[in-house]
A and B are shown apart, each in its own frame.
Chain A
Amino acid sequence: MVAAVMSDAAPSAAKRRTWTTSINAWLLLLPAIVLLATFTHYPILATLYHSFFSLGRSGPAEFIGLDNYRYMLDDDVFWQVLRNNFIFAIATVPTSIALALLMAVWVDKKIVGRSFLRLAFFTPTVLPMIAVANIWLFFYTPDYGLLDQFLRFLGFAGHNWLGDPATVMSCLAVMVVWKEAGFFMIFYLAALQTIPPELKEAASVEGASRWYFFRRVTLPLLMPTTLFISINALINSFKLVDQLVIMTKGGPNNASSLLLYYIYEVAFNFWDTTYAATLTVTLITILAAVALTKFVYLDRRIHYQ
């Protein structure tokens, strides 16, 4: 992503391209275009198209304009899962980024057992979400789950963690942060190693404190990475719903349901495919807005080396 932005910086080069090179370029791009068009762009357009039609369960499907969208705005569950999704994003994205940065700075130093630490931090990322969810399900099980056993040992009462609408979202957020942070750490680690050591030397000659150096040099130089990670984390928070299938099925009373999981339910439990298409269009719009903000607005404000 960073590289693409950088090549844009030389616009005059494009004018000098001859016919042959541009055909050559299109031919090279063709396989990717065909794949993207077949599996991404066409499905998006088809989804949009279907969202304007009735289900046609009894009779043929009819064009109904914006009826599905009106139904959606009137659907309490839709608003709840949307709200849940934003809460989930706010709870997981900043936390996992902060944690990733902390871990990266830590394992960037020359300390004993560094490889082991790096491996340990990265392990949750390697595990499949389904396996992770099954393990954490056991942690949260009331009475004989790990968490309750621990609390009981300390003399506290147990709690029905996933069965209580007040706690279920936090429980899932903690698990997702645990799983995601290690992955983002890798990006920070790579970025930290590209910072030239001369800067550090110069700073120490000038007598800058370590905190000052981190705040005024390291952090700004990490900004492109932070942007990249935050966009990815935000998109992930809309994309990642595997844990719901295993742990809560979106319950109790939709307290932990997210937009994508609701789309799955509407499409494959209720068989209301046109309404599912409507919800999907909404999800795509949200994600496209996030991506556009990045490409159009944020990229201009961030200092690339």
Chain B
Amino acid sequence: MTIVNVLSVVCFIVFGPLIGGLLSGIDRKLSARMQGRIGPSVLQPFYDIKKLLNKQRIDIVDTSMSGLLLSYMILMIMSGAIFFSGSDILMSVFVLSTASTFLYFAAIVTSSPYNSIAASRELVQIMTYEPAVLLACVGFYLVTGTFNVGAISQTDSVLLWQLPGFFIAFVFILTIKMRKSPFDISGGHHAHQELVQGITTEMGARNLAIFHIAEWYENVFLLGFVALFALNKNLWSIPLAVVLVALVFFTEVLIDNVSARMKMKNMLRITWLVTLFAAGLNLLVLMLVH
């Protein structure tokens, strides 16, 4: 492991939540502007977290939810760290799915009716997006011959041109991962307030803060994944990656604002079809070429 790798891991752990929080603020600002509102300050998510951390701790039944949420956050950081350290991409994806399992556990452990329903939905969402993520890794492997993130980011060409299908499938499931409409099923909320909101229904105060910070880490990790489609050993690929990430992010916000929530089964059906056709066709072509 080189110094660069260690540095990027440290950067991810330290600046990850800052970037994630900022992105969340930008998201809210953008959404507000799209809806013709002024919207909160870009720094609002940080104020929210500060408020949540200062509140009295709340738990249902006992503190097991806190433990599970904390595990969720640590594993999320770990999967991002594996990714940004430039090691195996499959390993980081597997740790990511383990992290999501812990989120499910945290949501279901209380047996709260609303939270349990949202947890089941979260589980279906995990199942829905997983194939596309795995296939994206396979795509990288087919083109570069390695699962190593460091090596994947040091090729000669922009991988996006060879992996358009995988990219489409990945961006498609990103809508689920970032909890955006029309696929924000487990995050569904009635009355846009943070008291009752899908999977976070029973998460209050510090627990909710942990949940949000973990999500920020996750978003940074996922956008890093998107950047991998553009990065190569040339320096000019860095601005290209930034533009690509910004574009994807903006698209997600836009989709969130122009679509209504979908039924779970439709989400599953559509996402799997897109994964199968976009990623599957791409896979077929790549395998025939190689």
Is the A/B pair a real complex?
A: no
